[in-house]
Each structure stands twice: as structure tokens, then as C-alpha cells.
């Protein structure tokens, strides 16, 4: 018996899910938004059958829910979701950082550092436009994703990806990587990378915790804490 139809169906589901993720990243899907199946189909550029099969997965992950008489609702951001998402992020990333500090190569760290320095130089040399914000966001999340994936645990990576979507929704509702936030966020990363380069596990954990808590406070509308360590010559 041919398995081709099931393979195609699985591929369409995966494409629909990837497209949903990208729509969150691109801020085309907003927290608390109501949307019909057909509107979602048009937004994702996927057939209705694939969208209908996608919905149960999104509901199970808490990213979408069906509201009688209203349609589909994207996860609503509230204080409980914010605190839970950032607590989970702390737990997962601290575990990843402990491994990453001993396994990442000097060459990879140099490349990671350079990508951050390039963003900071661009931000300081001219106006911060949408293209720079997009590139900075990719560099920002790229480091966090890399640390998680370096664990080599697909279950942890999947949980982290789902939680990252929640955090992105939270940031859409609260505070995104804006021009005012970009340089401080990049400097926090460089400060974290400096501890990685020294292979100082304790400093890595402290600085990672500070960075995540800074983002947590920012989406709550509270002042970000000052860095307790200095970053010399970030350029």
C-alpha cells in the first residue's frame, strides 16, 4: 500500500505550522486576535485541509483556541502567561548554557560575537530601520536557539520552540526589539558572550539570568536592571 498521500499530508501540516510560526515572527498574527479558518488559510497560504489539521496542534500548544460563535482566537497575553513563559525560558536556557559554555568552539564564539558587533556598529552609525531591527532580532534569537539545539535533545528543542512563540506573542503585546531596546539588548548579549569566551560557567549563568529577567521586566513595562558588570569596549 502506498504511503504517498500520508507523506504529502504530513508535509503540508509541517509547512502550515512553519508558516504560522513565521506569521508570529512577522507580527501578522497578534495576541488575542480572532480569525476564521478561511482567513487563516489565506494568511498561511495553505489549503483549508492542512489548516484544519493544524488547528488541534496549535490548540494543544496553547497558541490558539476555538471560541464558540467567534471562531479561532490567538493566545491572549496576561500576567500569568508572561510569568510562566519567562520562568520556563530561564529553566531551559540555564540548562543549555551549562553545556554550551564547555562545548561551543572558539571559532563559533568569534563568529557569534562578530555578528553582534556588526549589529551594534550599524545601529550606532546610522538610523535604526526595519531591516536592522529584523537582522538584530535574528541575531538575538539565533544565539538562544543555538544554545538550546546544542543540547542535542529534540524534546527540549521542541518545548523551547513552542515557548519562544509564546514569548514572541508577549513581546508583540508588550515591548519588541525596538530602536530604544536594540543596543542595550545587543550589549547584554556581548557581555554574556564575553563570559562564554572565558569559559566562566558561573558568570555565564548570572549574565544569562540577568538578560532574560531584563526582557521579562521590559514586557511588564518595568525598568530594566543595570548590568552589574561592565562591558569594556563593546565595539
Q: The C-alpha cell of 104 is what? A: 561551543
Give the distance, in angstroms, between the CA of residue 12 and the centroid of all CA atoms in the same chain: 23
pLDDT over 60 (residue 174): no
Query: What is the predicted pLDDT for the residue at 25?
Result: 78
- Segment 72-95 shows an average pLDDT of 93
Query: What is the predicted pLDDT for the residue at 175?
Result: 45
Query: What is the predicted pLDDT for the residue at 28?
Result: 86
Which one is predicted more confidently, 12 or 192?
Answer: 192
Of 80-89, 177-186, 220-229, the range with the lowest mean pLDDT is 220-229
Query: What is the predicted pLDDT for the residue at 88?
Result: 96
Tell me the pLDDT band of 9, cut-offs 50, 70 and 90.
low
The span from the CA of 32 to the CA of 124, in Å, is 35
Q: The C-alpha cell of 230 is what? A: 561592565
Which one is predicted more confidently, 10 or 195?
Answer: 195
CA distances from residue 125 to 120, 131, 190, 197 in whole angstroms, order as listed: 9, 14, 18, 27
Query: E strands within the chain?
Result: 34-35, 64-67, 71-74
Tell me the pLDDT band of 128, cut-offs 50, 70 and 90.
confident
Query: What is the predicted pLDDT for the residue at 198?
Result: 97
Are 212 and 170 in contact by the 8 Å Cβ rule? The answer is: no
Are 73 and 65 in contact by the 8 Å Cβ rule? The answer is: yes
Torsion of CA 202, 218, 181, 132, to 10 degrees: 100
Of 87-96, 108-117, 180-189, the range with the lowest mean pLDDT is 180-189
pTM strictly above 0.85: no
193 contacts: CB under 8 Å, gap ≥ 6: 109, 112, 113, 116, 143
Amino acid at each position: 500500500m502506498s504511503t504517498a498521500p500520508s507523506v504529502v499530508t504530513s508535509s503540508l501540516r509541517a509547512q502550515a505550522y512553519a508558516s504560522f510560526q513565521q506569521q508570529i515572527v512577522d507580527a501578522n498574527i497578534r495576541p488575542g486576535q480572532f480569525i476564521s479558518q478561511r482567513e487563516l488559510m489565506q494568511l498561511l497560504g495553505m489549503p483549508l485541509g492542512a489548516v484544519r489539521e493544524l488547528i488541534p496542534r496549535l490548540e494543544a500548544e496553547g497558541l490558539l483556541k476555538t471560541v464558540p460563535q467567534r471562531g479561532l482566537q490567538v493566545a491572549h497575553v496576561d500576567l500569568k502567561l508572561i510569568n510562566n513563559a519567562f520562568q520556563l525560558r530561564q529553566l531551559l536556557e540555564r540548562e543549555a548554557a551549562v553545556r554550551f559554555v564547555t562545548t561551543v568552539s572558539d571559532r563559533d564564539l568569534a563568529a557569534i560575537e562578530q555578528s553582534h558587533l556588526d549589529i551594534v556598529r550599524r545601529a550606532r552609525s546610522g538610523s535604526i530601520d526595519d531591516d536592522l531591527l529584523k537582522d538584530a532580532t535574528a541575531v538575538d534569537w539565533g544565539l538562544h536557539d543555538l544554545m538550546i539545539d546544542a543540547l542535542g535533545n529534540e524534546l527540549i528543542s521542541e518545548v523551547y520552540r513552542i515557548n519562544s512563540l509564546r514569548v514572541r506573542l508577549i513581546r508583540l503585546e508588550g515591548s519588541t526589539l525596538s530602536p530604544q531596546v536594540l543596543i542595550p539588548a545587543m550589549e547584554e548579549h556581548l557581555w554574556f558572550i564575553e563570559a562564554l569566551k572565558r569559559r566562566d560557567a558561573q558568570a555565564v549563568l548570572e549574565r544569562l539570568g540577568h538578560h532574560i529577567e531584563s526582557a521579562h521586566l521590559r514586557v511588564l513595562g518595568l525598568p530594566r536592571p543595570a548590568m552589574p558588570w561592565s562591558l569594556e569596549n563593546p565595539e
